Structure formats: C-alpha cells, structure tokens
C-alpha cells in the first residue's frame, strides 16, 4: 500500500470533529467518480458496498464486504453491527456526477468533491465523525486515510494490501496528536 504521509486537516464545529483529506489523482474526474460510486470499484478501497438508487434524497444501505467482516468482526460487533447481516443505514444528500457526492453513513457525514486538476483530479473528502468507534476518532481518521490511499492505488492499478498494525498504530497516534492540538 502506498501511504500518503500528509494528514487530513482537522475541522471543528463546536464539539463535532471532522477531517478534510485531499488527494491529487492522475485520473479524470469521471474515472474518480466511478471509483467512488460503483460497487465493482468500491470493493477495492471502501469497507462496504452501497445498496440502493444513486440519486439525491435516496435512502441507501451500506453492506460490509465479507472480507471486511472477516477482518473486523470484533470491531463491528462492538459498535452494534450484526455480522450475520452487516448493514448500516444511509442517505445520499447530494448526487452531482462527476463532481459532488455527499452522504450520511449511519451517523457520519461524508462529502466527496472532485475538481479537474492539471494532473487529472483533485479529490477533497470531508468526514464529520459520529459516535467514536472502538479505536476512537483517531482510529476512524486513520481508517479513512488508508481507504483513500487504497482508492489512489486502485485508480493506479496497484494492488492495495491491509496496512501493517505498526503503521496503523503510528497513523492513529499522529491523528490523536493533531486532534488534541486542534481542541476547541
């Protein structure tokens, strides 16, 4: 896995914490859009498939891929996901291909903005976190960081492996420091 060393920017809105990640991708917006929204591409970088109609206002479901359930069964169970029926609710808030995709995933708010860039595309991914998972907000922040790195690998036709535990722990530590520094 190619790991982007630049951390996302910490956002605060009262008690809410968010992170804005930025990636420059050597691919046109239409290709990045497909990778963000189509099941056959999501499988390579996102922990769940998106089930339901792709349009603004649509109620959707996030169904965790079997390999995600296998890898993270304890964490999923701890946050109340039934590993026998591993789905969470969601809703598409904004659907403007190939530029803007905004959605709710359970209690998290995600916004993907794609703009043309000289190198291909610039992707801004903003995540407003919901209730902290088993690894807290730093763990969730690191998880999205790795997902976006896997997205870049997938677009570049590189195989993306699960990161080593030491690398995960280091990124979680770095995000924890950034979040503490940005405290209200």
pLDDT of residue 163: 83
Distance CA 133, CA 84 (A): 19
Q: What is the CATH number of domain 9-46+96-181?
A: 3.30.530.20
pLDDT value, residue 52: 97
183 band by pLDDT with thresholds 50, 70 and 90: low
User: CB count, 10 Å around CB of 17?
Assistant: 21
Distances in Å between the Cα of 101 and the Cα atoms of 93, 97, 178, 180, 184 are 8, 7, 27, 29, 29
- Per-residue pLDDT of 10-69, as tens digits, reads 999 988 899 999 999 999 999 999 999 999 999 999 999 999 999 999 999 999 999 888
- At 70-91, the pLDDT tens digits run 888 888 888 888 888 899 999 9
Q: What is the pLDDT of residue 83?
A: 83
Q: Are 51 and 61 in contact (CB under 8 A)?
A: yes
What tens digit of pLDDT does each residue of 90-142 get? 999 999 999 999 999 999 999 999 999 987 999 999 999 988 877 889 999 99
């Amino acid at each position: 896995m190619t790991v982007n060393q630049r951390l996302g920017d910490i956002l605060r809105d009262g008690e809410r914490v968010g992170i804005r990640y930025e990636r420059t991708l050597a691919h046109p917006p239409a290709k990045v859009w497909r990778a963000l929204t189509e099941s056959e591409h999501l499988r390579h970088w996102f922990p769940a498939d998106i089930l339901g109609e792709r349009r603004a206002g649509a109620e959707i479901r996030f169904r965790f891929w079997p390999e995600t359930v296998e890898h993270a069964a304890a964490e999923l169970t701890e946050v109340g996901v039934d590993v026998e029926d591993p789905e969470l609710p969601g809703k598409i808030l904004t659907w403007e291909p190939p530029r803007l995709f905004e959605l709710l995933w359970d209690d998290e708010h995600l916004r993907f903005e794609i703009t043309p860039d000289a190198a291909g595309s610039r992707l801004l991914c903003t995540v407003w976190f919901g209730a902290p998972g088993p690894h807290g907000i730093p763990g969730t922040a690191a998880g999205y960081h790795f997902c976006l790195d896997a997205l870049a690998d997938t677009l570049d036709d590189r195989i993306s492996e699960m990161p080593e535990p030491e690398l995960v722990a280091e990124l979680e530590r770095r995000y924890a420091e950034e979040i503490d520094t940005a405290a209200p």
